[in-house]
Structure 1
Amino acid sequence: MTSDAPSVSATTPDATPARVPTGPVAGFVPALEGMRGLAAVGVLLTHVAFQTGTFSVPVVGPLLGRLDLAVAVFFALSGFLLWRPHAAAARGLGPEPSARRYLLHRAARILPVYWVVVILVLALLPGAGGGLGLWLANLTLVQVFVPLSLTQGLTQMWSLSVEVAFYLLLPLFGWLLVRLSGPRARWRVPVLLGVAAASTAWTFLPIATVDGVNIENWLPGYLSWFAAGMVVAETAAEVAARPVGSARPRLARIADRRWALLAVAAVAFAVAATPVAGEQDLTTPAAWQFAVKVSLGALVSFCLLAPLVLGTSVRTRWLGGEFAVTIGRWSYGIFVWHLAVLAVVFPVLGISPFAGQFPLVAAATLVLTVPVAAAGYALIEEPVRVFVRDRERRRRAVRPASEDDSAAVASNTETAGAATASTAAP
């Protein structure tokens, strides 16, 4: 994922000079990129744990299996990064972002390397290919709605489908909340929390589907994970909008208690690793178990994200360091490539799936996936990003200054990850 977010300099619709947001409400936060890289490795490890059968090992197995909550971290990161311009605009820190430019950058960020992976996996990986329907479902990211289209080497893409659904609906979310601006902006967090709470009841609804389609793989069930990041974005914007020296919002003060939040995240993760949040195998959880899992995932992601964004004395030397940020930059590639690499690792090592050997298989998969992801970033992701960026600059060169300002605000969304950004499936 790329991260070049310029600062915002804009005027409000009534031509009153807007305050210029700084820090996490507008700029690049290195520790978040490091967090994304860490989550990407967690995604890889949870899939290796499942396919080596390690998830059934007492204590260690359930903990490794529940690393699928890295998806919650990815979704929360997307919610935070992509919602920042809307939260800022609601408080006079800039205009609403351009939906056209936002969607263009999301497509450029997600689709090129994804299409390359899908084509190579379906064409070359034994057992992955299928008919035209399978190809179309995966190429168009609607596989969660098409029976039996989550094929070998691509099963993790269910969450990318969820992510893209969120991308498409985000401008609508922004429009629906646009009236909650100025003094009414204080109601935005309660509304988001209400949506998050309501979404946990998703699987209780009597929604009929065809065999092979699971509503647990649809966006509504995961809105609480995105909302966790959106709430952080709203709070960061509120901090930026208040006069210097004024009282910080309650959530910002809570975020200052870093170690308390980390303890809460650890306890929530441990509870999620028990059967109360569903089994570690492919058994479909009961509706209440799914609700518990997504609730705990939202709590974990908020507790990890909030201190990095809102904390006033949080040290992020490691997460914000060059190594962690570099892994974060390659995180989308790690996500889209790792299951295809894992499918190759088993025969190369002469190990059968579900036959153990987790340390060896995990090490081999990680060692092979990272350079593949780095190559994909250098050869596909970054060139496409630069092309789109330069194209937009040329386009803005002939546009009125006020439109340029709106485009500058929209560019903040480029810092968001895909699949989250890279996202992952259990």
Structure 2
Amino acid sequence: MTAADPVQAPTRAGHYLGGLEGIRGLACLGVISAHSWMHWAPDTTPGGLAQSMALGLVLFFAMSGLLISLPFIRDIARGERRTDVRRFALRRVARVFPGYVVIFLLSSFVLQSVYLGNAVVVGREASAAGAGMMTDPVDLLANLTLVHTFFPATIQTGINPSWSLTSELCFYALLPLLLLPLVRWGGGFRRRAFWLATLPGLLFVAVGLVARLVGEEWWRHTPGMSALTAEFGPNGIAVLTRSLLAIADNFGVGMLVAVVFVWMERGHLAWLTRRRLFLVGTPVAAVGGVLTLWSADRHPWFVTAAMGLTAGVMLLVLVEPTARRTSSGIVRVFSARPLEHVGTISLSAYLWHYPVLLLVSRLDAHVPLVGGDDALTMVWAPVLVATGSILLGTLTYRLVEKPAMDWSGRR
């Protein structure tokens, strides 16, 4: 690969953008830990810790914004369309649906560990209450097609964290429509092209913040509804909150990182040295962390928006060495094989972790596996769920995900 032809980079983005697979793996483990703590040790877990681990999901969205928008940003920078939209669409569908459908069917009909109703309504801490085999044809169709998050009656049913895949698919569908028309006005890596390329990311950030504000005000004007029910329950507020609209800012942060990356890899932005990036990025990331804790009780809809600042800095620090054809200690840390493996199988592991959690809860009622709400459970429960999720995720990746991706590549 030469500086004049970055489009020929290897297709495995985690290796091309050094360390991203590792941080994806760490993010996946963070989400698994947070859900395990909330399920088995809600009283022992220090306030804000589980919520802070939700940074993992914010990182997922920001990384999608970075990686998925990257070829389109390059097209805008060059002023020349090279991205094949049909191939892009086929790759995205092959990336999400085969693995998801197989995991959902196994979780429902073999493990019988999917939610049959809204998880907030039917679920219970340290229990598999509300979980079983989904046989209702309408609920099945909604979940298999990943449209269940669009309707109050089916939101947070099935594999309840799969709502994020619905938002991802909406992002995939919208991105070409939004970015490709800008290609004709770009080109030459000029200043105009740079600001043109940043517009979609800024638009996503603005839409996300506005939608969050609407969701929070809607909740405040709905008497008697808890924030948890408003965010995840069977109601219109949750449909808005779990939609692409309300998390668009997380994707937008990643899109802005993609713009900086593209200009760096072509030798521009020389003034943004690694030293300056750390000097500016460290306080920005710290501000994001403080705002996350501050907004938890005051403005719950903006918690993950604040986390987006930290996620953006983390991604920019991680991809800067690759953009400039160098390396760094941080990249080497996140390129550790165990983390890279979890990152590679993260989609499957992420989808498996809640059915595994519910299955462990069902077994725990007969044979003690986890324990009570204490410090030992805080350590043991995430290890148990993560181990099962990684093992099943590895199998699903090798037998379903990778073959589907290989097929789409040949097509």
Superposition deviation, residue 137 in structure 1: 1.2
Q: Give 1:36's aligned residue.
A: 24
TM-score by length of 2: 0.78
Q: Give 1:20's aligned residue.
A: 5
Q: Give 1:119's aligned residue.
A: 105
1:248 aligns with 2:270: yes
The structure-2 alpha-carbon separation of the partners of 1:82 and 1:69, relative to structure 1 and needing over 3 Å to count, comes to: same
The structure-2 alpha-carbon separation of the partners of 1:23 and 1:238, relative to structure 1 and needing over 3 Å to count, comes to: farther
Picking from 104, 108, 115, the partner of 2:94 is 108
Alpha-carbon separation, structure 2, partners of 1:353 and 1:227: 41
Q: Deviations over 1:29-49 (max 9, x none)?
A: 230111111101011011111
1:164 aligns with 2:169: yes
Superposition deviation, residue 270 in structure 1: 4.6
Higher deviation after alignment, 191-200 or 233-242 = 191-200
Q: Give 1:318's aligned residue.
A: 333
Q: Give 1:374's aligned residue.
A: 394
The structure-2 alpha-carbon separation of the partners of 1:254 and 1:228, relative to structure 1 and needing over 3 Å to count, comes to: farther
Equivalenced residues, count: 359
Q: Give 2:186's aligned residue.
A: 181
Contact 2:70 2:258 (C-alpha < 8 Å) held by counterparts? yes
Contact 1:333 1:377 (C-alpha < 8 Å) held by counterparts? yes
Superposition deviation, residue 189 in structure 1: 1.7
Contact 1:24 1:236 (C-alpha < 8 Å) held by counterparts? no
Report the structure, 1 or 2, having the larger helix content.
Answer: 2
Superposition deviation, residue 323 in structure 1: 2.1
Higher deviation after alignment, 340-349 or 264-273 = 264-273
**RMSD between aligned residues:** 3.1
Contact 1:52 1:355 (C-alpha < 8 Å) held by counterparts? yes
Aligned to 1:30, the other structure's residue is in SS state coil
The structure-2 alpha-carbon separation of the partners of 1:117 and 1:103, relative to structure 1 and needing over 3 Å to count, comes to: same
Alpha-carbon separation, structure 2, partners of 1:51 and 1:307: 33
Alpha-carbon separation, structure 2, partners of 1:134 and 1:234: 40
For structure 2, list consecutive stretches of 5 or more residues without a partner in the other structure.
114-130, 220-229
The structure-2 alpha-carbon separation of the partners of 1:354 and 1:94, relative to structure 1 and needing over 3 Å to count, comes to: farther
Which amino acid is 1:364 matched to? L
Alpha-carbon separation, structure 2, partners of 1:118 and 1:95: 37
Superposition deviation, residue 152 in structure 1: 5.9
Superposition deviation, residue 258 in structure 1: 3.2
Q: Give 2:143's aligned residue.
A: 138
Superposition deviation, residue 160 in structure 1: 1.2
Aligned to 2:392, the other structure's residue is in SS state helix
1:45 aligns with 2:67: no
The structure-2 alpha-carbon separation of the partners of 1:256 and 1:136, relative to structure 1 and needing over 3 Å to count, comes to: farther
Q: Give 1:149's aligned residue.
A: 154
Alpha-carbon separation, structure 2, partners of 1:25 and 1:191: 26
Picking from 202, 214, 223, the partner of 2:211 is 202
Alpha-carbon separation, structure 2, partners of 1:382 and 1:247: 37
The structure-2 alpha-carbon separation of the partners of 1:75 and 1:354, relative to structure 1 and needing over 3 Å to count, comes to: farther
- Which of the pair has the greater relative contact order for Cα pairs under 8 Å at 6+ separation? 1
